[in-house]
Structure 1
């Protein structure tokens, strides 16, 4: 099993980031995400927590050896479940690959929470990546290494893309408000 984690701050308040997370895709940095389908959305009347389940459709070039060994195609699907708690100001997103999950799984967890000054948002991301081929340990290690590298690349692209989305959504609005006064 391989692990990935990162922690950083977005220079926007939590409320802006949570609104922005529904507009993250499509963006020019994350062209591998091609479809987003909302499967279910509900609000708990007791807590006010918003639960959303989505399926993300992705297209990614897989190395030839992976396609030969495991089959499949460039099309991949990911199940994402998010919880937004307006009272505690936390948003959590968990995701897992649906495609080729019999060979490898990637369990990702994201958390957005306000920084201590409430002007920025803390972003934490972890992923556990595990190949499921106990008989072929060498192939499993190679697959896990490739998956971790791909995950890290996509995580960096996701950070760039989301930063651009937030900048476009909020800095443009802030400038318009400043000009109106």
Structure 2
């Protein structure tokens, strides 16, 4: 099993980060995410918690040995469930791969929470594990490749999300001040 974790602080309030979260895709840094479909969204009338389930469609170029060994294509799908709690100002997101899950799983967890100074702390963890006990050599290679790809995409996602937040709130501030937004 491979583990991944990272954290950072965004210079935006939790409310702005949550709004930005819904605008993260598409963005040029995360071109591997090609579709985002909302499957379900509910609001708990007692708690106000918003639960959203989405399916993300991704295109990933897999090494030829993975395609030969496991089949499949460049198309991959991920199930994501998020909970936005306005009373505690926390957002949690969990996701798991749907494609090739009989061979390997990637469980990812993200949390956004307020930080001092009107900022937001982001934490991300992932557990990547193969399910092939009889092919240990192939399993180790697959797990290593998946962990490397996940880390690359996580770094791109962080850069892309920073750009999304900057663009959203710079443009909002420019409109507020009566200055035309730059293109």
Matching of residue 132 in structure 1 with residue 131 in structure 2: yes
Matching of residue 5 in structure 1 with residue 5 in structure 2: yes
Q: How does 1:20-99 map to 2 (within 5 A)?
A: 20-99=20-99
Q: How does 1:159-174 map to 2 (within 5 A)?
A: 159-174=158-173
Q: Give the paired residue count.
A: 179
Other-structure match for 1:123: 122
Deviates more, 1:157-166 or 1:81-90: 157-166
- The CA distance in 1 between the partners of 2:62 and 2:5, in whole Å, is 23
Q: Which string of whole-angstrom CA distances, capped at 9 and with x for unpartnered residues, describes residues 124-152 of structure 1?
A: 00000000100111111111110010000
Secondary structure class of the residue paired with 2:31:
coil
- The CA distance in 2 between the partners of 1:7 and 1:30, in whole Å, is 18
- The CA distance in 2 between the partners of 1:173 and 1:112, in whole Å, is 22
5+ residue gaps, structure 2, are none
- The CA distance in 1 between the partners of 2:156 and 2:82, in whole Å, is 20
Other-structure match for 1:176: 175
- The CA distance in 2 between the partners of 1:152 and 1:171, in whole Å, is 28
- The CA distance in 1 between the partners of 2:75 and 2:142, in whole Å, is 17
TM (normalized to structure 2)? Answer: 0.96
Query: After TM superposition, what 4+ stretches of structure 1 lie above 3 angstroms from structure 2?
Result: none
- The CA distance in 2 between the partners of 1:42 and 1:6, in whole Å, is 29
User: Once superposed, what is the RMSD of the aligned Cα atoms?
Assistant: 0.9
Other-structure match for 2:153: 154
Secondary structure class of the residue paired with 2:172:
helix
Secondary structure class of the residue paired with 1:29:
helix
Per-residue deviation, 1:179: 4.2
Secondary structure class of the residue paired with 1:45:
coil
- The CA distance in 2 between the partners of 1:55 and 1:68, in whole Å, is 26
- The CA distance in 2 between the partners of 1:55 and 1:122, in whole Å, is 25
TM (normalized to structure 1)? Answer: 0.97
